[in-house]
Amino acid sequence: MPGAGTDLRSAVVAEALSWVGTPYVHRQMVKGAGVDCATLLIGVYSAVGLMDTFDPGYYSVEWYLHQREEKYLEHLERYADYVEVPELGDILVFKFGRSHAHSGIVVGGDRFVHAWMRDGRVSVQVRNVFWDQHQSRVMRAKGL
């Protein structure tokens, strides 16, 4: 019989998948209308009760290309802890440019859900050489 942790992980996966197809819109967080990779995490984890909804403040679309400051990780570290091996509902964190600037939610096997500007929408992505070259962290939302 699944425990509470398993049920919560399943809820995270179901919520993440419910955002698939939502257009990529910088700094928005409305399922079906617009979201980016940072606000997707807020939308998913707040919907299942692991955090309160909050506004991460202003950030430019390409801030990570021009500075080494780890703003993305600093926000994630408030709500998640580092782990070694990803499980369902965990966060894969990717480094592009000079700093960490993208993430996705593990939904099973080598698949993750993310809001990717290049795709223009939230999609299910299969990890491959490209993603493995950029992934540098795995995090778990506190309480998961």
pLDDT in tens, the chain (144 residues): 344 578 999 999 999 999 999 999 988 899 999 999 999 999 999 999 998 876 776 665 665 555 677 878 888 999 999 999 999 999 999 988 778 889 999 999 999 999 998 899 999 999 999 999 998 899 999 999
The confidence score (pLDDT) of residue 33 equals 97
Structure token pair of residue 60: 């430019």
Looking at residue 6, its pLDDT comes to 81
Q: Where are the alpha helices (DSSP H) in 48-107?
A: 71-79
What is the rounded distance in angstroms from the CA atom of residue 91 to the CA atom of residue 113? 10
Q: Set out the domains of the chain in order of their start, with CATH numbers.
A: 4-141 (3.90.1720.10)
Q: What is the pLDDT of residue 73?
A: 84
Give the integer Cα–Cα distance in Å for 12 and 39: 15
Give the closest residue to 74 by CA, choosing from 112, 100, 48, 52.
Answer: 100
Paired tokens of 76: 């994630």
The H or E element containing residue 47 is helix 37-47
Q: What is the pTM of this model?
A: 0.89
Phi/psi at 43 (5° precision): -60, -45
- pLDDT of 1: 34
Report how far residue 21's alpha carbon sits from residue 11's, in angstroms, rounded to the nearest whole number. Answer: 18
Tokens at 2, concatenated: 């699944």
Residue 82, pLDDT score = 96
One-letter amino acid for residue 128 of the chain: N
